Amino acid sequence: MPEPRFRKHDQVRFRFGTRTIQGEVKEDRGPIGVKGRRLYLVEFSFESQPESPSLIELPAEELQSVPAAVSSE
């Protein structure tokens, strides 16, 4: 069984059509994907519609981790 690679609130990037989109992990759905791959529920918004977030479930291998921003203060 694949180990969790992301946690809730992690920032991730993924391909969507021709673009790369950034989103936030909302839930680890567990190893319920094809051949037991782990799925994650990710929330994201299109730049032009930040007030209307969307949800998508993606396998771990389609997600890239986004390093947390370091505060300059």
Partner 1 sequence: MPSKSLIRWNGKRADALDEIVNAHAMVGGTERARRFATQQINYAFTALLSSQFQGFCRDLHSECIDQIVSIIPDQLQGFLRLELIWNRSLSRGNPHPGAIGSDFNRLGLDFWAGVYALDSRNQRRRELLQELIEWRNAIAHQDFDPVALGGNFNLHLARVKVWRSSVDSLARFFDRAMYNYLHGLLKVTLW
- Per CB under 8 A, residues contacting partner 1 are 14-18, 29-34, 36-37, 39, 54-59
Specify which residues 13 forms β-bridges with.
Answer: 22, 64
Instruction: Supply the minimum distance, in Å, between the C-beta of residue 47 and partner 1.
Output: 16
DSSP three-state, residue 23: strand
CB of 39 to partner 1, least distance (A): 6
Residue number, 19 or 68, with CB nearest to partner 1? 19
CB of 69 to partner 1, least distance (A): 25
From CA 7, how far away is CA 5, in angstroms rounded? 7
For 57-66, letters b (16+ CB in 10 Å) and e give: ebbbebbeee
Minimum CB distance to partner 1 smaller for 54 or for 68: 54
